[in-house]
Structure 1
Amino acid sequence: MTADKAEKYGCAFAVETATFRFKDSDIVAEAHRCLFDTVRQVRESFDVYGSKKSFEWETTMDEGHTIFYGIDDFMKFEAPDTSELLPKSIKKFTLRQNITDSTQPSFIQGSGHGGSHPHLCHEFITAIVEKREPSIDVYRSANISAAGICAQLSAFNDGEEVLIPSFGKSN
């Protein structure tokens, strides 16, 4: 990554990949991040591999995700559009929009991580209004965040294995 971007974003890596092994399981996951100074579409995604099924996030926009049932037995699919579950005022944020910014190349933005951002925000705010625990609770949030933080620590230490602390199970 160029020095100016490394300084601005506090990260010297144009591409990062983390591998996660799940405790007491044969499941392995890979998380990928590719944002700057590479000739490819932006990619923040994950793949999950197991002995019975595997899942791969699409590698280029609109090619579809893949579920593997066997070595040559797989199915491509598009994640369903679930914007109808949202209030009208935020439905549009699940869709891609062309963004032109003089400080960046023109790019397609929106539908962050498959359109999940508006759903996460809506669930969080609705839980507050309804005085209930959100479905993505404090434990799940902490566990997901810890995995990302530990992956970054590993990257800063030449890929050294980092154990991810558990903050408890969510129900």
Structure 2
Amino acid sequence: MIKVAVAGLGFGRQFVPIYRDHPLVSSVVTADPAEGSSLDDVLADPTVDAVHIVTGLTDRADHVVAALEAGKHVASTVPMALSFADISRIVEARERSGTTYMMMETAIYTRAFLYAAGLAFGNISHARGVHTQDMTGWPGYWRGLPPMHYATHAIAPILHLLDAPATQVTALGGGLLDPRNRGGYDNEFAVESALVRVAGRNTVVELTRSLYQVARPYAETFSVYGDRLGFEWDRDMVLHTLQPPTEARGRQVTTEPVVAPDRPDLLPEEIRTYTSGGHDGSHPHLVHEFVSAVVEGRPPAIDHTRAANWTAVGIAAHASAQRGGVPVALPHF
């Protein structure tokens, strides 16, 4: 059993009871300045085995590196970092420490993704990921953030289904940010859209991301189209089936609505009730994967290498958009 600390009790507060009830967790402590406790205190505590870092976007890379250097297993909210340099710092710190790093990407544990992961798409020729969210009124470090720097929710389900890393990105930016929505970043775009090349795949992957000035409700969606099945998750889910050819022109496609089931069967009994929670039921699956990986001494599903690639897609996309669509290769982490 392991002792876990949760650092950052904004969004992080939702994970505390899940860790508390997990059968492989002996105890949970928290760290948050508002609670009179600090990350430094947690990292100095030899009884703490693992730290789930849910701290601010601009401080996260420093916090993750510090936790790894303290010899802790680390779970981190998304994205991994905001620059190639900080991704490299985290990867190198993880390699020196030999401990576990997992990026807690909700998108590959949603009901929708768990359903799609069980489908036989055939050869996937086209996929699309979209994440729209208005950040007006959020903490100041979000203001002006390049939309693609927070792209992991949109790209993760696609790359995970394709089981291959991205290698190159071509992107364009659209819309001019209102001066009130500009901050301490080199970004003027309200929206960024990209085409992503994937290693060893002939799949066209589209990606769109926005943070301000887009009249669309919050959405994390993905669509995947193969030569047998197609799956779309927008506000609802549908499944398309390509029928066998006949003598008529064109092949018929039948479409049916889908309600993805909850998957408590994938979890220990003690935390199954938490699948009714946020991010489409993903939180207990994330906790279980992280805790299990630490206890079993194996790489987690979203280890430092996969997290680095998924995060780097967005950083490369913004760099491409700034250059008017010049292709940008992803570093190999």
What range is the shorter-chain TM-score in? 0.5 to 0.7
TM-score of the aligned structures, taking structure 1 as reference length:
0.64
Q: Name the amino acid aligned to 1:43.
A: A
Alignment of 1:26-105 (within 5 A): 26-50=202-226, 53-58=229-234, 61=235, 63-67=236-240, 69=242, 72-83=253-264, 85=267, 87-88=270-271, 91=274, 95=277
The Cα of 1:165 is off from its aligned counterpart by 3.2
Q: How many equivalent residue pairs?
A: 147
1:129 aligns with one of 295, 301, 322: 295
Q: Give RMSD over aligned pairs.
A: 3.2
Displacement, 1:52? 5.2
Partner SS for 1:7: coil
TM-score in terms of structure 2 length = 0.37
Separation (CA, whole Å) in 2 of partners of 1:73 and 1:155: 37
Larger radius of gyration: 2
Query: Per residue, is there more helix in 1 or in 2?
Result: 2
| Structure 2 residue 305 is the aligned partner of structure 1 residue 145 | no
Instruction: State the one-letter code of the partner of 1:34.
Output: S
Q: Which runs of 4+ in 1 moved over 6 A?
A: none
Deviation of 1:41 (Å): 0.8
In the alignment, structure 2 segments of 5+ residues that lack a partner are 1-176, 243-250
**Structure 1 spans left out of the alignment, 5+ residues:** 96-109
* Residue 13 (structure 1) shift: 2.8
CA contact (8 A) 2:238 2:255 kept: no
In the TM superposition, residue 161 of structure 1 has moved relative to its aligned partner by 1.4
Q: 1:48 to 1:89 in 2, by over 3 A?
A: closer
Q: Distance in 2 between matches of 1:68 and 1:12?
A: 41
The answer (yes or no) to whether the contact 1:31–1:44 under 8 Å persists in 2 is: no
Instruction: Give the 3-state SS of the residue equivalent to 1:14 in structure 2.
Output: strand
Using CA pairs under 8 Å that are at least 6 residues apart, name the structure with larger relative contact order, 1 or 2.
2
Distance 1:143 1:83 in 2: 29
Report if the CA contact (8 A) 2:289-2:300 is conserved: yes
Aligned AA (1:131): G
